[in-house]
Structure formats: C-alpha cells, structure tokens
Amino acid sequence: MIFLDLIDLAKIRRAILYLFLIVAALWLQLGFFSRIAPLGVRPFFLPAVAVAIGLWEGGVWGAAFGMLTGFFCDQVMIESTVTYLILFSLLGFAAGVLGQFFINRRFLACFLASAAALAIFAGVEVVPVWIFKGAALGDVLPVAELQILWSLPFIIPCYFGAKAIARSN
C-alpha cells in the first residue's frame, strides 16, 4: 500500500472534474448550440474551455487538457484531422504559461485571452476558405466576426466552471 502514498487524489479528482467540464462543453457545443444559428453562424466556445483550464492549472496541465479537448474535437468534427489537437494543445500551454508568469487569473484576463483564442480559431477557419476555395475575404470576415461575438458570452461559464474546479480541494 505504499503506492497509495504516491498518488495525489486531489489532482486525480480535479482531472476527472475537468474531463466532465470538457465533455459537457463539447456536448453543449455539438448537441444544443449546433442547432441555434442566429444569422447563420454557430458559436464555437471550446477554445475558452482550454484557456480557462490552462489559466488555472498551468502550462503542462493546460497543454494536456488542451490536447484532450482537441482530440475530442478532431474525433467528432468532420472539418479537422489533427488541427484542433495541435491548436488546443498550444492554446492550453500558452494560457497556462501566461497565467503562471505574466497575467493574473481574474475574469478580465481570462476573457481577453479567450477572446484572442476565439479570434485565432476563427482565423484558422477563414484562411483556408479564403486561400484555397477562392472566397472573397470581405465575405468570410463578417462570418468570423459574428462567430466570435456569438461565442463571447460562453466564456463566462467556462471561466467560473474551471475556477470552481481549481479551487475545490
């Protein structure tokens, strides 16, 4: 039973709760909010989950949970193969490093970092359509802007959910 002393049960419990947060956000993203599309645009708020977890848990855990979020997205979303896996990993790591060394963990910092992450993901979706499919940039940018605006309110539950899990011991 010496091995039980080496296991940090609080971290395992937090990891399981973060996993539930990721799965719940993914379920809401794909199940409920995929059917609601004001002006033809659907929200994409999963980057806010990766940012919030990375902000509260640090770079390594942020990258790990970002990778898990990206893996789930790559498995259930048709548009991507490994793009989300790589981007979410980098995003979780960057948010964790920022949260550990450069910014505080308050809501405004998380909101701004999540908004930047949403803009990055909108850019990742817009650039291939613009370059490879020949769409006019003036046609795809308003769609990306609407997606970012529609996704911003979902930063609030992502932040407070991750904060509640991080503070639970």
SS (H, E, C) 35-68: CCCHHHCCCCCHHHHHHHHHHHHCHHHHHHHHHH
Instruction: Count other Cβ atoms within 10 Å, centred on residue 59.
Output: 19
The pLDDT mean for the chain works out to 85
Whether the CB-CB separation of 162 and 69 falls below 8 Å is answered with: no
Mean pLDDT value of segment 21-47: 84
In sequence order, what are the residues at sequence separation of 6 or more whose Cβ sits closer than 8 angstroms to the Cβ of residue 45? 25, 29, 33, 118, 151, 154, 155, 158
Q: Which tokens go with 4?
A: 């039980």
CATH architecture of the domain covering 7-167:
Orthogonal Bundle (1.10)
Measure CA 160 to chain center.
14
Q: Give the per-residue pLDDT at 45.
A: 85
Number of H helices, E strands in the chain: 8, 0
Instruction: Name the residue with higher pLDDT: 55 or 10.
Output: 55
**Does residue 56 contact residue 162 with C-beta atoms inside 8 Å?**
yes
Q: How far apart are CA 17 and CA 45, in angstroms?
A: 18
pLDDT greater than 90 at residue 21: yes
3 state DSSP class of 135: coil
- pLDDT band per the 50, 70, 90 thresholds, residue 4: low
pTM: 0.85
